Structure 1
Amino acid sequence: MSNDKKRFMDRFAWFMASHRVAVLVVVFIVFAVFLYGALKIRGEVILQDMLPYDHPYLKLHAKFSQVFGSGGSGGVIIVKVKNGDIFNKETLTKLQQITNEVEMWQEVYRILTVSIASRSIKKVTTLKKGEIKIEPLMWPDVPDTPARMEDLKASIFASPAYNGVLVSQDGTAALLFTEFKENISYERAFGLLREIAEKYSDANTSIHLVGYPVLMGWIYSFKHQIYQIFMVSMILMIITLFLIFRNRVGMFVPVATSLFFTVVGLGIMGFTGFNFSPLLYVLAFLVGAMMVSHSVQSTYRYLEELHASGNDSRQACYMTMRSMVIPAFAAVTTDAAGFLVLGLAKIALMKQLALVMSLWMTSIVLTSILTPIICSFMPMSEASDKWSAERGKLDRMDKMIVAITRFSIGRGKAVVFGVIVVILALSVWLSVGIKVGDPTPGSPLLWPNHKYNQDQELMNKAFNASSDNFMLFYEGKVGSVYDPTVLTTFEAFARHMKQELPDIYKSSSSVISIVKMVNATLHDGDQLWYQLPKNPELLYGLMGYVKSNTDMGTLSRFIDRMLQRAQMTIYFPDHTSDNLLRVRDAAYNFFKNRPMKLENGEFMLAGGRVGMEIALNDEMKERHLEMDSIVYGAILVLCIISFLSIVGGVMLTVPLIFANLVAVAYMAMNNIGLSINTLPVTAIGAGMGVDFAIYFYSRCRDEFVNEADWTKTILMGVRTTGKAVVYTGLTMFAALLPWYFMSGLKFQAQMGVFLAVVLGVNVLLTLTLHPLMLYFFKPKFITRGGTGVEAEVSKAEEHSLGLNGNGIDTGEKIQDAHERG
């Protein structure tokens, strides 16, 4: 550390230590201000905020959603009977009542609410003298005679547009599709749908709900459970801190500082208008846990300095700040860089998250100031006496830590290096298999046995329809929708997708379905004629008939009033990563042999929920490597600046990359995809390890006495800061345990295990790889920067580390002597 920097830190630390009361008054004022801001937090997330606004698919989506609805906020209500089929007056009346009720909601697009009880669902019948009639399938009344009921049943099962789509092929269930408006919160949409489910379920009827608003609604319903998990985690954290420090200071101070900075972070969210989704609660907890990590380091250092100063609290406060502010600043800025880089993604939520979380993380540097100040007002004589008594001997934790590090820098060097190389190779190999998006059917956010995933599976098995839809759009001159080329292209596209994707294609829906029904009816109902006429003139005539005999409310689901825009919807069972790629490739392969631009208009890809997911995955895939490269580059630069050493920056960054590869390998092994939900968690996980290493290197620099004492320096570093790192790891691990055993959210449980893995890897690297690199390279940034916590290490401490007076490792004999003593 340069003399100027030392002098500045000396003056700064002494000023803060001399005005501790004033600092605490300011802290209380800041706490009150940000507590007010925390009360203003909003918990709603709008769909558009979670999507890449600059992607061509999303621009297309925004354009056509004004005509045909968003296609991404669709909800599905499944009415299923337990005995018999739905073709009875009681069940169909129930379906009709549900349809009428949903159509009256102000929160949905009425024209996009569809079931067999909707006015827009038509059937085509023949009259006398070869005439045909287009009329509602089951509107306004439910069939009241057995003959009419059989006629309805025959009409449904004879039409590919309804059989297996609006009614299951076994006749035991029926669907209602609806589309919520873009400005409606998911909690509101879910509440309305749940009311329907509760109102119309009975002994023989079950109501099942599917769709993105339903999924998000279920996630919002876990808010109170998440609060309970956080409380249990906090209690376990407090218990662990007490067991570690065995005094009130070690237990109280980290929790108090964590509480303060948590309120600061939540206040930032409230003042900036950030929407705090339950899926992001995990981030708030993680940041809180990292606050505890930084505070534990400062608390541990304070106890050392208090003993060294003869129980002079102001001196201990001054020395702790003097030693910890710079490494804390270096550690926190690297964490903030991990969040700030999220802003590269062209997703509104990510940009907001990058700003809010980076500001929050930056504020945590103040733990190195607030922690020793709070400690200085605590009764510490008992803790100091205990520290003095235990300072010169090894407890079980010390023995384990020192043994691991001694092995890593001694006779086990080759073993440690070999294990790291093997793990690195395995991690690289596994990381190649990481999926972008959702790797499994259903929602990976919920457990497979959750009701939502069970309902999704029911829908996929019983129906040729789904909430995961893919849309092909057309736009051209006024009236060009009726161009036979447009209609035949729609039909050919659906046929191509069915042939290319026979295992996942379910059905399609467009205006040509009505034209096909008319064509089949003209041929005595023969389903062989359920197709578009090959003759352009016949096709044009059929379209004219459909136009003149079908109300615009029916057609508006497929074409606009000016007849210049149209859309086709194709249903797929899920939006898993692999299937999204197959759908996209198949769609573009179709247009390799056909022009997307016609004389009077143009076809455009792609919309619907599937189109949105493809766009999101494209953005994640494109930005992921870019983000990683920039964040590691930023960490490298920040570490170089902090230690004024290129070697130091490289030594800190390389193990971080190694730990991140292990984490990505874990995700790949457990089918955890890289998504908008997991990316922020991996960002904060990446910064976790560099915090530990920065504190360790800073302590080694402080402990260094002369260039011959590398073993002494390293072992003292691991016994002090390294021990604090292990304590931090144990505390955070205890806090993560409830996530797996208590959470109804699979995502939260998986992220808990993921972070435990990242945490464990980084703790081990702090005790093995980092000491090995210091011992092997003996970097100059360690030898030139020591602040000297104490003038020299006491003889008792040397013996406790297994060292003789010259700093030479005497091995297990000294340890054995201590144990016998």
Structure 2
Amino acid sequence: MSVNSAIDRIEVSVFRHRGFVVALFALLTCFLVFQASQIRLDAAFTKNIPLNHEYMKTYLKHREQFGGANNVLISVCHQEGDIFNEEFFTALKGVHDQLFFIPGVNRTQVQSLFSPSTRFVEVVEDGFAGGPVVPADFQANEKGLATVKSNIEKAGIVGRIVADDYSCAMVKATLLENHPQTGEKLDSLALAQTLEQDVRKPFEKGNITVHIIGFTKMVGDVADGAKGVVTFFVVAIVITSIMVFLFSRSIALTVLPIACSLVAVVWQMGLLSSLGFGLDPMSILVPFLVFAIGVSHGVQMINAIGKRVAEGHSTKAAAQFSFRTLIIPGVAALLSDTVGFITLLSIDIGIIRELAITASLGVAVIIFTNLLLLPVVISYLDVSKHNQDKQKTTDNWSVMANFSKPGPAKLILLVTVILFTLGFYQSQNLKIGELHAGAPALHEHSRYNQDTFLITDRYAISVDYMSVIVETTDNACTDARVLETMDAFQWQMENVQGVQSAVSLASVMKVINAGYYEGNLKWRIISPNQYALAQALSNIPSSTGLLNNECSVMPVILFLADHKAETIERVVSKAKQAIAELNNDVVTFKLASGPIGVMAATNEAVEEAQLPMMLYVYGAVILLCLISFRSVRATISVVVPLYVVSTLAQWLMTVLDIGLTVSTLPVIALGVGIGVDYGIYILSTMSVKLREGYQLHEAYKQALYERGSAVLFTGITLAIGVSTWFFSDLKFQVDMGILLTFMFLVNMLAALTVLPAIACFLWKNQK
């Protein structure tokens, strides 16, 4: 059976049983509305990291002993003077206790001035003395505060637990993966709300301010910002409705494509819920894209039906003809979109894979809602009043049709080659990772980033740290060779640009060893005497996070100046060099834990996935074009403009200081997948006219008459819709909006200009 005969049978079956088709869609929609109402937000920490990356295997292996990257840091500050007053210590104790009892917090790793593990050691006449920095019988009076201040200085925690200027003190905690009571995955969004309501709100009063950072709090703030997506979605529906009405001049032809696109969104959400998936702050943007893509294909359908009705056909006949002529290019375009999104599954990061599934489902259902349901419903209506200003449109398309003539085509291709060359050269400067300080998902002025900047400014340590794990034999803490190897690694890394400081068991033991010799710096060494090492080690409990109970695993913690892509790349590269030099049969250094370890793994995963993803996307588009058009020339005409626009988009990213990250990498695939629609619709009509014997120029002119208005309209409408994202509270949504606006507009322009210019030379001898 040929493709055309199969389509004819489908057309007859669908339009012969229109009532059944509409009823079936209505039942499915009711069921999926219920399913969609059950969908939940899901922002688990592990979804944001490449779990199979070697760094993350190290991170997960030692997370329980040394804490992970999913930490909460709470800085309690006093706005007037220093922290040594009753008001401050009352607030700090309250924050510590409140955090300690929140379900999901690892209580063994809550650290502050009030933690028993926060201890001081001092040299006295009889040797060493020490104890908790805040004694058990502490009273916030003059004597008690003086004692605590003295203990803080002896403990050497200024810059880590206490701010450099004594204006703040820190409460740190590591979060569990699962809820301790239910056993389910920890709900990051609920925990972020708890931190806001139970920690910040009760204690931030008077002269006390509370500053909270950490992955969970950041995700909570992102989720709050993502709620604005609903507003953007409503705005997009209003703008799109106005644009569709201006295009169709018919209320019915405005309402129907909008309604069918909303049905596609409902189906998408319902299917996601049925499959057990939730929405995270990134994939919550996808329903808007599904709606926009649905409208673009719906406009193609109403455009085709309107033209047939204007020629004197009945609405039902026009709907059947449009269904038959648009089903192949429409399905090809939507399958290109779907396969393009599916290629994102090649990226081993949960949040991107769920984005791929979410987008693929949404685009796939558009095949049913906008290519099948829409023409069936329209066939019941009388849209004979639909009309267009044919003379004006004809004049405009006649001018644009000249792009397919040799003279204008040469000029267009020359400009395209120049732009592509510049874009390709500049795109080589595209950075992998974040290029700005603070949480990249949020604007610099956001509360979260302001809290981050305050903590970074007032403490000697950075919130951007990476732990390099040292694995060795049991009881290696008293092996001088092991400690000297660690010390050599730490010394090399401390001298790398971007590393502010470093700490390890070896460096702490050197300080303690000097303490036994009245603090003489000459004795700040790794003693070759095992008994001296054991004596120093006795002052360092495993609760410090510098060693495990067996003394077989010890981290070297590197504090970085920032988490910019170039800083992470430089530090990780130097760490790999040092590891290759120092690894031996006894000592093995492994990258990496901590927030920077997660970012480094994510950046490497994105870099590794970039080329394969693009090959998969373009491979899928090329294959589908070959199947649809059965022509190499047609495939080249569609794909080359897409590749040029993708390259220019990467150039734009370098100009705007947008790095290639988890949030921006999918945009390239989205842009290619959606951008191919324009070329497919234009070339599908051109191919028919060429087979009918038209010369290329006339074939392109006919394609513009048939499809040009809809292509131009959809490109502008899609761009206007995503351009509203410029006003989002989320920085990553702003970046995505800029890139998608650019790709929607420029892909549309490329389909109307570059595609016919290429075709001019590929069909040079067309009679």
Quickly name the TM-score band, shorter chain normalised.
over 0.9
> Is the counterpart of residue 615 in structure 1 residue 613 in structure 2?
no
Aligned ranges for residues 497-512 of structure 1 at < 5 Å? 497-501=493-497, 504-512=498-506
Who is 1:692 aligned against? 678
Unaligned runs of 5+ in 1: 784-821
The answer to whether the 8 Å contact 2:509/2:536 transfers is yes
- Of residues 631, 653, 658, the one that matches 1:667 is 653
SS at match of 1:208: strand
Amino acid at match of 1:673: G
> Is the counterpart of residue 343 in structure 1 residue 345 in structure 2?
yes
> Is the counterpart of residue 37 in structure 1 residue 22 in structure 2?
no
Partners of 2:520 and 2:677 in 1: how far apart?
69
The answer to whether the 8 Å contact 1:92/1:142 transfers is no
Structure 1 residues 603 and 713, CA, compared in 2 at 3 Å: closer, same or farther? closer
> Cα deviation per residue 1:213-252 (whole Å; 9 max; x = unaligned)?
1211100112332211211111111111112222113311
Who is 1:467 aligned against? 463
Structure 1 residues 527 and 86, CA, compared in 2 at 3 Å: closer, same or farther? farther
Who is 1:325 aligned against? 327
Aligned ranges for residues 113-512 of structure 1 at < 5 Å? 113-127=110-124, 129-142=125-138, 144-157=140-153, 161-183=156-178, 184-195=186-197, 196-308=199-311, 310-366=312-368, 367-383=370-386, 386-387=387-388, 390-391=389-390, 393-395=391-393, 399-407=395-403, 409=405, 411-501=407-497, 504-512=498-506
Amino acid at match of 1:579: T
Structure 1 residues 212 and 470, CA, compared in 2 at 3 Å: closer, same or farther? same
TM-score normalised to the size of structure 1?
Answer: 0.88
Structure 1 residues 609 and 529, CA, compared in 2 at 3 Å: closer, same or farther? farther
> Cα deviation per residue 1:45-72 (whole Å; 9 max; x = unaligned)?
2222222222111111111113223x21
Who is 2:664 aligned against? 678
Who is 1:61 aligned against? 59
Partners of 1:335 and 1:271 in 2: how far apart?
22
Amino acid at match of 2:325: S
The 10-residue stretch of structure 1 (490-499 or 680-689) with the greater mean CA deviation from structure 2 = 490-499
Who is 1:714 aligned against? 700
Amino acid at match of 2:758: M
Unaligned runs of 5+ in 2: 179-185
The answer to whether the 8 Å contact 1:460/1:466 transfers is yes
Who is 1:786 aligned against? none
Aligned ranges for residues 631-646 of structure 1 at < 5 Å? 631-646=617-632
The answer to whether the 8 Å contact 2:72/2:216 transfers is yes
Amino acid at match of 1:773: I
Amino acid at match of 2:117: S
Partners of 1:708 and 1:338 in 2: how far apart?
33
Amino acid at match of 2:533: Y
> Cα deviation per residue 1:28-83 (whole Å; 9 max; x = unaligned)?
112122222212322112222222222111111111113223x2111111112221
Amino acid at match of 2:757: L
Partners of 1:773 and 1:323 in 2: how far apart?
25
Cα offset, 1:417, TM superposition: 1.7
Partners of 1:484 and 1:146 in 2: how far apart?
45
Structure 1 residues 625 and 660, CA, compared in 2 at 3 Å: closer, same or farther? same
- Of residues 493, 516, 519, the one that matches 1:522 is 516
The 10-residue stretch of structure 1 (45-54 or 652-661) with the greater mean CA deviation from structure 2 = 45-54
Who is 1:795 aligned against? none
Partners of 1:625 and 1:298 in 2: how far apart?
35
SS at match of 1:412: helix
Amino acid at match of 2:331: F
Amino acid at match of 2:590: M
Identity of aligned residues (%): 26
Cα offset, 1:779, TM superposition: 7.7
Cα offset, 1:691, TM superposition: 0.6
TM-score normalised to the size of structure 2?
Answer: 0.94
Report how many residues are paired: 758
Partners of 1:625 and 1:732 in 2: how far apart?
27
Structure 1 residues 506 and 205, CA, compared in 2 at 3 Å: closer, same or farther? farther
SS at match of 1:209: strand
Cα offset, 1:500, TM superposition: 1.8
Partners of 1:539 and 1:249 in 2: how far apart?
88
Partners of 1:119 and 1:527 in 2: how far apart?
29
Who is 1:754 aligned against? 739
Partners of 2:744 and 2:27 in 1: how far apart?
34
Cα offset, 1:643, TM superposition: 0.8
Partners of 1:400 and 1:209 in 2: how far apart?
58
> Is the counterpart of residue 589 in structure 1 residue 591 in structure 2?
no
Structure 1 residues 561 and 305, CA, compared in 2 at 3 Å: closer, same or farther? same
Bigger radius of gyration among the two: 1
- Of residues 61, 69, 72, the one that matches 1:72 is 69
The answer to whether the 8 Å contact 1:470/1:609 transfers is yes
Cα offset, 1:716, TM superposition: 2.2
RMSD over aligned CA atoms reads 2.4
Who is 1:799 aligned against? none
- Of residues 768, 776, 782, the one that matches 2:753 is 768
Amino acid at match of 2:347: A
Amino acid at match of 1:10: D
The answer to whether the 8 Å contact 2:264/2:290 transfers is no
- Of residues 21, 25, 28, the one that matches 2:26 is 28
The answer to whether the 8 Å contact 2:121/2:154 transfers is no
Cα offset, 1:288, TM superposition: 1.6
Partners of 1:203 and 1:401 in 2: how far apart?
69
Partners of 2:53 and 2:750 in 1: how far apart?
40
Who is 1:106 aligned against? 103
The answer to whether the 8 Å contact 1:242/1:250 transfers is yes
> Cα deviation per residue 1:324-350 (whole Å; 9 max; x = unaligned)?
001111111111111111112223343
SS at match of 2:557: strand
The answer to whether the 8 Å contact 2:248/2:254 transfers is yes
Cα offset, 1:533, TM superposition: 4.1
Cα offset, 1:520, TM superposition: 4.7
Amino acid at match of 2:207: N
> Is the counterpart of residue 90 in structure 1 residue 87 in structure 2?
yes
